[in-house]
Amino acid sequence: MQRMMPKLKEKGVELCIQPVKEERTGCQERYYRKWAREFGKFTGNTPDEIHEIMLARTYGSEQIETKFGVMNRPVQRSADQSKSSYSDLIETLIRESAEMQFIIPPPKPPNLE
C-alpha cells in the first residue's frame, strides 16, 4: 500500500459505484459445455459450431458481409451474459436437443447449504 500512495497522488483516483452483475456460474458453464459437446457429437457438429448455433437461436443473429461471403453471427456472446440470461442459453440447448430426440437431463439445483 505504501508503494501505491505516491502513484495515487500523481494520477488521482476514480471511484465508480454501480450494481454488481451476477455473472454466470462455473456450474452453468460446465453443464452447458458438457452437453453442447455431447449434442454436437449427436448432430455431427463441433462444440464451437453448436455453441454458435445456440447463441443465434437464443439471442438472435445478424447477417454480416465478409470476404468469405455472407455469414450469420449471433448478436450476443455468452461471455456478456448474466447468470439469468446464461440460463436462457442452457434452456435453448435442452429444448433444441429434445426436438431432435436427444434428451439432456435438467441441471441439478445448486447446493443451498
Domain that holds residue 81: 25-99
Residue 70 domain-assigned?
yes
Residue 19 domain-assigned?
no
Q: How many distinct structural domains can be found in the chain?
A: 1
Residue 4 domain-assigned?
no
58 or 26: which carries more pLDDT confidence? 58
Residue 66 domain-assigned?
yes
Cβ distance 92 to 104 under 8 Å?
A: no
Residue 9 domain-assigned?
no
Whole-angstrom distance, CA of residue 83 vs CA of residue 26: 10
Going by pLDDT thresholds of 50, 70 and 90, the confidence category of residue 79 is confident
Residue 34 domain-assigned?
yes
* pTM score, whole prediction: 0.74
